[in-house]
Amino acid sequence: MMGVDALLKEVEDRRKKALEALEAEYSAKREEVKKRTAEQVAYLMDSAKKDAVVLAQKEATKVEGASKLQSKKMVFDATERLLESNISSLEQAMAEFAASPAYHELLTSMVKYASKRLGGKVGVICRKADEAALKADGAKVISTSLTSIGGFKAENEDRTLELDLTFEEILRGREDDVRAAVLGKE
C-alpha cells in the first residue's frame, strides 16, 4: 500500500503544483487585465478631459462671437437712430429755409438749372406756396399739388423728360454723402 500512498501523494503533489501554476498564471493574467483596464480608464479620462476642454473652448468662442455680434448690432442701431435724428433735423432746417427770403433766390437758380438740363422752357409741378415765385421766374406752373418740403419737379415742353428737384429727392440722392457728413467721415 505504500506504493499506492506514494502514488496518491505524487498525484496530489502534481495536482497542487498544477493548481499553483494555474493560480500563478491566473494572477498574472488578472494583474495584466487590471493594468490594461487602468490604462484604458486613464486614456478615456484623458480623452474626455481633452474633449471637454475643446468643447468648452468652442462654447466660449460661440458665446464670445454672439456677444460681439450683439455689441455690433447695438452700435449699429444707435448709429442708425443718430442718423435718423440728424436727417430729421436736416429736413426741419430745410423746411425753415423754404420759409425764408433766401429760398426765392434758390428757386430762381433751380429754374435756370432745370431749363439748362431739360433744354429750354420748363413746366413745373410745385407747392402752392411757391407758385407766385416760380411764375415770376418765368416758369410755367403745371400743377400746385406737390407735397414737399421745398423745390419742385420740372418737365420739358413736350413732357417727355422730368427732373425731380424736390428737397426730399435731392436729399435722397445724396443720402450717402449726408450720412458720411453726419458721422464725420469723408
Closest to 96 measured CA to CA, from 56, 132, 150, 163: 150
User: In Å, how far are 85, 125, 131 from 153, measured between CA atoms?
Assistant: 27, 5, 12
Whole-number Å distance between alpha carbons of 30 and 35: 8
The pLDDT of residue 82 is 84
The pLDDT of residue 78 is 87
Which of the following CATH numbers is that of domain 101-183: 1.20.1440.120, 3.30.2320.30, 3.90.1150.10, 3.40.50.720? Answer: 3.30.2320.30
The pLDDT of residue 185 is 62
Residue pair 164/153 in contact by the 8 Å Cβ criterion: yes
Closest to 159 measured CA to CA, from 136, 138, 140: 140
How crowded is residue 52: how many other Cβ atoms within 10 Å of its Cβ?
A: 10
Residue-level pLDDT, tens digit, the chain, 186 residues: 667 778 778 888 888 888 888 888 888 888 888 899 889 988 888 888 888 888 889 988 998 898 899 999 998 888 888 888 888 888 898 889 888 989 889 998 998 999 899 888 889 999 999 998 888 888 889 988 899 999 999 998 888 889 999 999 988 888 888 777 767 764
Tell me the three cell numbers of residue 92.
Answer: 426741419
Whole-number Å distance between alpha carbons of 45 and 15: 43
User: Where do runs of H (alpha helix) occur along the chain?
Assistant: 2-98, 102-118, 131-136, 167-173, 175-183
User: In Å, how far are 18, 27, 45, 53, 59 from 63, measured between CA atoms?
Assistant: 66, 53, 26, 15, 6
